[in-house]
Structure 1
Amino acid sequence: MTLLDLTIRNVKRNFRLYSIYLFSMITGVIIQFTFSSLMYNEDIMDALQNRDNFQMGVGIASVVVFMFIIFFILYANSFFMKQRKKEFGMYLLYGLSERQITIMVFYETLFISSISLIAGVLLGGLLSKLFGMLLMNLMQYDQVISLSFPVHAMVSTAGLFLLLAIIISVQSYVMVNRVQLTELFHAKQKSEKAVKTSPVMAMISLLLLGMAYALISSGKGSVFWEDYATWSMVATTIGIIGGTFLFFRQFSGWLLQTISRRSKYHEGNTVLWSSSLRFQIRGNTLNLTFISLFSAAILMLLCFMTINYKVQFEAVERNLPNDIAFQSLDVATNGKIDDLIKSSNHEIRFHLTEELVEASPVTDMHVAFDNPEYFTPGVLLVSQQTYNEFVALREHKQNVSLQGNEAVALSQGADFPEPYAPGQQPSFTVKTDKETTFKLIEKKDYAYLGWASHPVKSMILKPAVIVISDEAYQRLQDHANIRSFEIYGLRDARNAEDLSMQVHTIVTQTPDAYYSSFADVYSKQIEGSSLMLFSSGFLSLIAIFALASVIYFKQLREATDEQLQYSILRKIGVDNSQMKSVIRKQLLFVFLPPLVLGVLHSWFIIKYYILDSVQDFHGLTGMVWSIMGVYFLIYLLFYVSSTNIYYKIVNENH
């Protein structure tokens, strides 16, 4: 009998075990082909405004996706190989070498990979159309996506899985070669030992987690993060990782030990589920720690990208509130631009010419503007009346009321915008032909002119604008330089990229002339944030599937090992309902703590380092809890399916 014949017989004889592995491989192919085919879909490419950025982003994400797939497939293969140790022991006893066994495994892998590629590409082609439509919907493009099977995607997927087959063969060879023959026959007979626990270590695990949560909740403006950022980061990392590990290693063991000492321990079925868990702590600690940290990472990634996506739509408008705005040039050039805009497909909603006073700051810019390096070095002064009229035209509730030398700094993008209480109002001095000192009554996160933009480079710098009272403006305008700006409001400004590029070309013929366009940034920001959300959602889907596999294979292995114990329980009179109750309680103790810790880790970081930074955007907290709620439901499905699988395995021979 040849190795190829032996391989075929193995697949037929162990079809159930192979089917689990085959399902894992097909899933990997589907994921890889679905994602990579998006990069070669002509319909998607035609709809995009920034194709090079998209292809680069998808290319990077594809590498990350493949790394996830490698982890997932290698984990599945590791389980697969451990379940076959006794079989390999028989082959070695009959005279096969490790090299021959490895060749046989390579044949099996090629056979399974071939089936996986055919099935995965067919299913992946269908799913790529669905995910392509989803991506277009995120970008708010009305583009029809056709069903396609790009040759480049098929070739790259086939090549990657051939490489994976080689890696799997190497892994299999190492696993077979490292184990002694006697160990192969007794691979399933090893038993875990109960971990020694202490109340002190159990308490330390809670203290570490509490320390990490306290540091995170202190906020990035606290003394810990302002003055000791590195040490705080190290302490938080140790607290979360170390605290999570000790929680499962010591606290859970101590809790189970405490339960076993209760007077009513032998009543009901407590002894049945808790005694088994005590002996599984050593083997489950790393898995449960990984699941908790992995869950937190998935939730943080998905919540951050979703928040970023939701914020971008409003953030672009906040950063570039004017559809087209540029510094007034000579009459002929202004007229040429006006004619160009009127002849375009974009109806003009309004056209204003705004006048502002130029001034040089005498006071340090940090007093009036957060992150002044992003603002122009000079200051522009606008009158209260002009500002309020323009704000009303935008339908924004950002009016100001000023008297005398009162002023409001428009610190666009301010981390901590605030009105100043009487007596605490900082002074800010500017110079025109003479120096004038204003009292800042408020630092407002609002843009009057918005970032200067470029069709390729996106955002450059933003003008530093201060609103002053009408009286102060009248005093200064006769003794200072006046800069005028042409501001246009357009219909369908989102799709005005071509028009913006033409206007930009004319304006920038004048060196250092200010130009800003909503369209220059909108498509880049929205396409970029949509791609990041789509990629993170895709990666989260893969990560959840990998997580489910870790849980599934772990429970499958433990259920297989405990078939004898449950058989004994059945013989001494434990009925089906009691057995199901024992399994549910046992698995709940495994499933619930990692879920709770994962949600807590992610919530603290999201709340204090993301949500607190975007408080002006409404509905984000509810959206975060919705994501966590969906994750909880998915996790609940894992729990229910695992209990059912566990019960079926322990009753397999009944």
Structure 2
Amino acid sequence: MTFNQLIWKMAKQNKGKYIFYYLCNSFAVMFFFMYATVYFNEKIVEVKELESIQDALAIPGVALIIFTVFFINYAHRIFTRRRRKEFGLLMTLGMSNRDIVRLLLVENGVIAAASIVSGLLAGTVFSRLFFLVLMNSAGMGQVPFHLSFEMFSYTIGAFLIVFLLSVGITLYLTLFRTLSDSLKSDRVADAIKLRSPLLGGFGVALVIGSALMLYFNYLNESNPGGDGLTLLIWTITLLFGLYIALSQSMSFFIEMAKKHKPFYYRKLLFLTSLEYKFKQLTAVLMLVTVMGMVTIFYTTLLLFIYSATEKQVVEDHPYDIAFVETVTKNNISEKELVSIFEGNPIKEHLTIQLFEYHEEDPYWDDLINRYTFMPLSDFHRLTGSSKVVGDGEYIYFHNQMPEYLGGDSIYENGLTLEKGDIHLTLKESIVEKQVNNLSYPLADFLVVNDADYDKLRNRLAEEEASIHLLNVEAWKESEVAVEGLEQKLLEHNQSTPPFNNEHFSYLSEEEMLKPSSRIADYNNQRNSSGIMFFVSTFISVLFFFGSFILLYLNVFSNIEQDKEKYHKLYKIGITKKEIQRLIAGELKVLFFFAPLLGTAVAFHYIVVFAKDAGGIMENPSFFLHFLTIAGIYLVIQTGYYYYAKRKMMRQLELN
């Protein structure tokens, strides 16, 4: 028999294992390539409104790489573990280490090549469909699908690095293992190296303590903006506690169960079998828990952001369109405005007068203080209030939402201007969002009565301006009109002298004077959060599928040993019905414990982050999104469980 004939006979004999191993690698290539078609799409990088998208996509990309590394390595380890006896037998028949190396390289080389080819072909087909669904759902139908060298090279390179590393580890373990160990590998169970109920209790306590510390120390009153270091420390502690708990919690639970003898002896076989499984599958259960936690939390958070885009845009832009007009820039007549918005008529047009004054700070060198003054009459028209401001007084008007209010300001203790010649007294501070976010940099507004405004303007004004605030019939249909306004203003500004921008040289004239609109911000945020949400949905589908395969590999890789074990139990009097209940109970715990644990941890992080928006009870949509995502996750996992249960019973001939 030639060497090639031997390989072919071994492949036919183990065709089920080869096919499953090949499919695992092929799926890994396909999923990575599908993600690469989005991450490396040139148009996404080129479109100006999406400049931050590529960095955002790196987050699920890192998760995908970590998962792929573990997935390929684990599939390879399961594939080769039960073939060690074959290698030992071949060695007894005279095959040298060199021949074993050659055998492993040939079969793995063929599988790798086939996986790359089929994975890229399938990825090309499905990525086209995925790309269309993703972009159209995110409102980005103008971004075309294309393939590039980077997509193929990064996919092939990443796969080969992980695959070759796994093969190298297998070669090392095979060649340096004794012949007797290889021959009896299928009769040796994984030893339980540590059994410590005390350590299990410590792990559970560490998880609970870390969760509580994270809740009370992150985003609290003394730290309203959050603290990345606090989040990192307690997250690492929580994950460390999870690993210990998953490894030793069953030992802890068994120790507790021993105090209730009837329950313990009735469930003895079930509990001891689960303890062995938990210790054997600690790494897999940990990965499934973390995947579930990240998937549910990340997808829920992005879905909440995506669905809340309109509300956020309306808060940031009280008016549909806004732009700043100076003495020489953005000059446009009412007639021209009406013409531009003819198809979507203007319902309201409010003009607010302003002037700016800059002065060196008396205490800090090279620091320039900015002051933006507004007349009281315009403030009344803007806010609808009837506030009275006396001579020498001012209202400090914070144009922002109260929850975003910062610390103390130079405007809150009265003002002394022009080297002490002008004194103004603070009457009150008002925090309201009334003016759109503008590219034109303006300080918070100082509202004075009209007489004081005229006096101060004549004496201090360096740059006079007006803010135009417009509402139209349908702001979601104003994109074309807003683009027309931008073009009209740009054409006019190009025919006037350059704008004096000495205080804000980091901004170009075009950037400063560009109109602000709800529709532009809405489209930009929908594009960004839309891509992030749908990519995270794709990663979620991958993780759901991958977690099932990891559990499936472990459950069914030892099917022959389990079959022998249950056959022996049947011989000593355990009935077939009792064995079926035992198997169903084990599978139920293995398939639901880690997902439910991951769901609980994800909910805890959602509660922690919801504190920044008033708490989970103040944001019912946040909670509803969590229930939707978690529900879908658990429904899919339930389908996995029933499929695995039927397959297990059929394999063990218990049906």
Q: TM-score, normalised by structure 2?
A: 0.79
Write the distance in 2 (CA, Å) between the matches of 1:579 and 1:543: 31
1:161, 1:124 → 2: CA distance?
A: 14
Tell me the alpha carbon deviations over residues 452-474 of structure 1, each in whole angstroms, 9 at most, x when there is no partner. Answer: 16xxxxxxxx5333485xxx533
- 2:288 alignment partner AA: I
Using the TM superposition, give the Cα deviation of residue 21 of structure 1 relative to its aligned residue in structure 2, in angstroms. 0.9
Q: Displacement of 1:81 after TM fit? A: 0.9
Q: Which aligned pairs between 1:486-525 and structure 2 lie closer than 5 A?
A: 486-489=468-471, 492-494=477-479, 496=482, 500=486, 503=489, 507=493, 509-512=498-501, 514-515=512-513, 516-518=515-517, 521-525=521-525
2:622 counterpart residue number:
620
Question: Alpha carbons of 1:183 and 1:494: their partners in 2 closer, same or farther (altered >3 Å)?
Answer: farther
Residue segments in structure 1 that go unaligned for 5+ positions in a row: 365-375, 392-398, 419-425, 454-461
1:176 aligns with 2:174: yes
Shift of 1:272: 2.6
Gaps of 5+ in 2: 363-367, 458-463, 502-508
Q: Equivalent residue for 1:412?
A: 400
**Structure 2: distance between partners of 1:123 and 1:90:** 38
Pick one of 455, 463, 466 that aligns with 1:479: 455
1:33/1:290 Cα in 2 relative to 1: closer, same or farther (>3 Å)?
closer
Aligned position for 1:77: 76
> After the TM superposition, which residues 148-163 of structure 1 pair with which residues of structure 2 at under 5 Å, given as runs?
153=151, 157=155, 161=159
Q: Could you tell me how far 1:432 is from its partner in structure 2?
A: 6.8
Q: Pick closer, same or farther for the CA change 1:245–1:464 going to 2, 3 Å.
A: same
Q: Is the 8 A contact 1:324 1:487 kept in 2?
A: yes
| 1:108 corresponds to 2:90 | no
With 51-60 and 205-214 compared, the bigger mean Cα shift is at 51-60
- Superposed counterparts of 1:124-273, under 5 Å: 124-142=123-141, 153=151, 157=155, 161=159, 166-192=164-190, 200-222=198-220, 232-233=230-231, 236-237=234-235, 239-260=237-258, 262-265=260-263, 270-273=267-270
SS in 1 for 2:436: coil
CA–CA distance in 2 between the matches of 1:430 and 1:361? 12
Cα offset, 1:14, TM superposition: 0.8
How many angstroms apart in 2 are the aligned matches of 1:530 and 1:156?
25
Matched position secondary structure for 2:261: coil
Superposed CA deviations along residues 337-356 of structure 1, whole A, max 9, x for unmatched, are: 97489458974525432224
* Contact 2:356–2:371 (8 Å) recurs in 1: yes
Match of 2:4, as an amino acid? L
> Residue in 1 aligned with 2:431?
443
- Provide the secondary structure at the position in 1 that maps to 2:456: coil
Find the aligned partners of 1:401 and 1:303 in 2 and give their Cα distance: 44
1:280 partnered with 2:277: yes
8 Å Cα contact 1:303-1:624 kept in structure 2: yes
User: Counterpart of 2:177 in structure 1: which amino acid?
Assistant: V
The residue type equivalent to 1:485 in the other structure is I
C-alpha separation in 2, matches of 1:517 and 1:134: 30
The residue correspondences of 1:222-371 to structure 2 (distance < 5 A) are 222=220, 232-233=230-231, 236-237=234-235, 239-260=237-258, 262-265=260-263, 270-321=267-318, 324-330=321-327, 334-335=331-332, 339=336, 342=339, 347=344, 349=346, 350-356=348-354, 358=356
Q: Helix, strand or coil: the match of 1:256?
A: helix
Letter in 2 for 1:634: I
Per-residue deviation, 1:582: 0.8
Query: What CA distance in whole angstroms lies between the structure 2 residues aligned with 1:618 and 1:361?
Result: 48
Shift of 1:230: 8.3
Which stretch of structure 1 is more off in the superposition, 203-212 or 560-569? Answer: 203-212
Contact 1:192–1:280 (8 Å) recurs in 2: no
CA change 1:578–1:377 in 2 (3 A) is farther
User: 1:457 is matched with which residue?
Assistant: none
Q: Structure 1 residues 226-235 or 126-135, which shifts more?
A: 226-235
**CA distance in structure 2 between the partners assigned to 1:403 and 1:549 by the alignment:** 71
Distance 1:486 1:228 in 2: 36
CA deviations 1:568-600 (Å, max 9, x no partner) are: 223344444322211122233334443333223
Separation in 2 of the partners of 1:13 and 1:187? 19
Q: Tell me what 2:414 maps to.
A: 429
Work out the CA distance in 2 between the residues paired with 1:345 and 1:577. 78
Q: Report deviation, 1:240.
A: 0.8
User: Cα offset for 1:522?
Assistant: 4.8
Shift of 1:24: 0.8
Asked if structure 1 preserves the Cα contact closer than 8 Å seen for 2:580 and 2:649, the reply is yes
Count of aligned positions: 615
Contact 2:45–2:54 under 8 Å retained in 1: no
CA distance in 2, matches of 1:477, 1:565: 92
What TM-score, normalized to structure 1?
0.79
Contact 1:253–1:281 (CA under 8 A) maintained in structure 2:
no
1:91 aligns with 2:90: yes
| SS at 1:264 equivalent | helix
Amino acid at match of 2:400: Q
Q: Name which of structure 1's ranges 589-598 and 342-351 shifts more when overlaid on structure 2.
A: 342-351
State how far apart, in whole Å, the 2-side matches of 1:359 and 1:544 are: 59
Alpha carbons of 1:536 and 1:435: their partners in 2 closer, same or farther (altered >3 Å)? farther
Superposition RMSD on alpha carbons, in Å? 4.4
CA 1:607–1:227 in 2, change beyond 3 Å: closer, same or farther?
closer
Residues 648 and 261 of structure 1, relative CA distance in 2, 3 Å threshold: farther
The more displaced of 59-68 and 605-614 is 59-68
What is the deviation of 1:485? Answer: 2.0
**Corresponding residue for residue 378 of structure 1:** 370
2:453 maps to amino acid: Q
* 1:463 equivalenced with 2:445 (yes/no): no
1:599 aligns with 2:575: no
Deviation at 1:636, TM superposition (A): 2.7
Distance in 2, matches of 1:645 and 1:442, equals 68
* Worse-matched range after superposition: 82-91 or 129-138: 129-138
Letter of the structure 1 residue corresponding to residue 77 of structure 2: S
